[in-house]
């Protein structure tokens, strides 16, 4: 969607022009009805009777990605560079044979190297999470163009919440996957919007997960096919980029991660408008326990099966 169209509608509203008049003016100016309708929906001036098609969603995602490409890639650059530095150091130490020459009885040196490695790993994880949540902040404020520094400032305060939602979602989905696979797929799609909800609605923990479930419910297959398509597209692009020697795999993540999140955030906004932003009631304790128990059973089943096999 062209930003000039959005800006024009906003300015017309500020001048007190009614929506019908703005619509007619845009038609006379040569704007297509599809573009005008999309802009009105984007600004909350028109209800969304049907979800936009996958082609429309991809078109908007590509446009937003292109418009903010350098900001989005710039946000993802710090963890990319950290990972690159770590890889170069490891390759250099391996090349000169330093690692292989460390005597096993030199406990102090081994402990120092292990400690340094762990510290670097923790820093890399924090940088990655900070960059991811900052990326979502920049996507949310795509019209304001808040910039890299401001995105990192806003993202810093949500690192722990982002991490906690990721851990909760991973544990529940993985446990459900182990429970005959299908429940895991269902939960993965239900919870797929949770991180966008954290940034857009400031809902945390299980509230973000179940708010995501609320928006996806009734449109599960629609979300599933959209998520599957974007995953296949990104996999294909990543495979091509990964052929670049040395940095291919890291570079693929650098350029594809922003597009994945732009696509996901727009999908979240479409579902929110389509559902007319329904009232959200935090999940009851019994509901949380039900999902937790399903995941726990999933983790226990393989252990029980292995135990029975070993014993009998």
Provide the pLDDT confidence category of residue 198 given band limits of 50, 70 and 90: very high
Q: Which of 70-79, 85-94, 121-130 has the lowest mean pLDDT?
A: 85-94
pLDDT of residue 98: 55
Q: Say if residue 198 is exposed, middle or buried (CB neighbours under 10 Å; 0-12, 13-18, 19+).
A: buried
Mean pLDDT of 73-82: 89
Share of the chain above pLDDT 70, in %: 88
pLDDT of residue 192: 94
- Ranges of each domain in the chain: 158-215+282-312
Helix (H, G, I), strand (E, B) or coil at 238: helix
Mean pLDDT of 87-113: 64
Q: How far apart are CA 117 and CA 111, in angstroms?
A: 10
Contact (CB, 8 A) for 76 and 258: yes
pLDDT of residue 80: 86
User: What's the pLDDT tens digit per position in 223-263?
Assistant: 999 999 999 999 999 889 888 877 777 788 888 999 999 99
Give just the sign of the alpha carbon dihedral 58, 63, 68, 70. Answer: positive
pLDDT of residue 103: 57
User: What's the pLDDT tens digit per position in 103-148?
Assistant: 555 666 667 777 877 888 888 899 999 999 999 999 988 767 788 8
Share of the chain above pLDDT 90, in %: 31
76's CB contacts (< 8 A; 6+ apart) are 131, 135, 253, 254, 257, 258
Mean pLDDT of 198-214: 92
pLDDT of residue 163: 94
pLDDT of residue 277: 66
């Amino acid at each position: 969607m062209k930003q000039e169209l959005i800006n024009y509608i906003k300015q017309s509203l500020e001048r007190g022009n009614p929506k019908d008049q703005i619509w007619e003016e845009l038609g006379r100016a040569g704007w297509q009805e599809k573009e005008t309708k999309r802009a009105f929906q984007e600004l909350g001036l028109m209800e969304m009777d049907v979800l936009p098609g996958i082609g429309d969603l991809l078109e908007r995602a590509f446009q937003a990605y292109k418009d903010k490409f350098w900001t989005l890639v710039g946000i993802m650059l710090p963890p990319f560079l950290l990972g690159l530095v770590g890889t170069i150091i490891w390759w250099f130490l391996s090349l000169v044979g330093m690692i292989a020459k460390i005597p096993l009885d030199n406990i102090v040196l081994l402990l120092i190297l292990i400690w340094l490695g762990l510290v670097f790993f923790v820093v890399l994880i924090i940088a990655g999470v900070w960059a991811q949540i900052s990326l979502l902040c920049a996507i949310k404020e795509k019209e304001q163009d808040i910039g890299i520094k401001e995105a990192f400032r806003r993202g810093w305060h949500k690192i722990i919440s982002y991490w906690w939602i990721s851990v909760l979602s991973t544990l529940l989905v993985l446990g459900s996957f182990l429970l005959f696979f299908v429940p895991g797929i269902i939960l993965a799609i239900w919870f797929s919007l949770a991180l966008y909800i954290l940034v857009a609605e400031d809902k945390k923990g299980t509230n973000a997960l179940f708010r995501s479930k609320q928006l996806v419910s009734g449109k599960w297959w629609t979300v599933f096919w959209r998520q599957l398509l974007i995953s296949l597209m990104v996999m294909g692009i990543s495979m091509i980029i990964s052929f670049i020697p040395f940095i291919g795999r890291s570079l693929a993540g650098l350029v594809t991660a922003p597009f994945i999140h732009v696509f996901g955030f727009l999908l979240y906004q479409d579902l929110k408008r389509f559902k007319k932003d329904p009232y959200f009631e935090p999940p009851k304790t019994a509901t949380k326990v039900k999902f937790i128990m399903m995941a726990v059973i999933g983790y226990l089943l393989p252990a029980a099966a292995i135990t029975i096999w070993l014993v009998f």
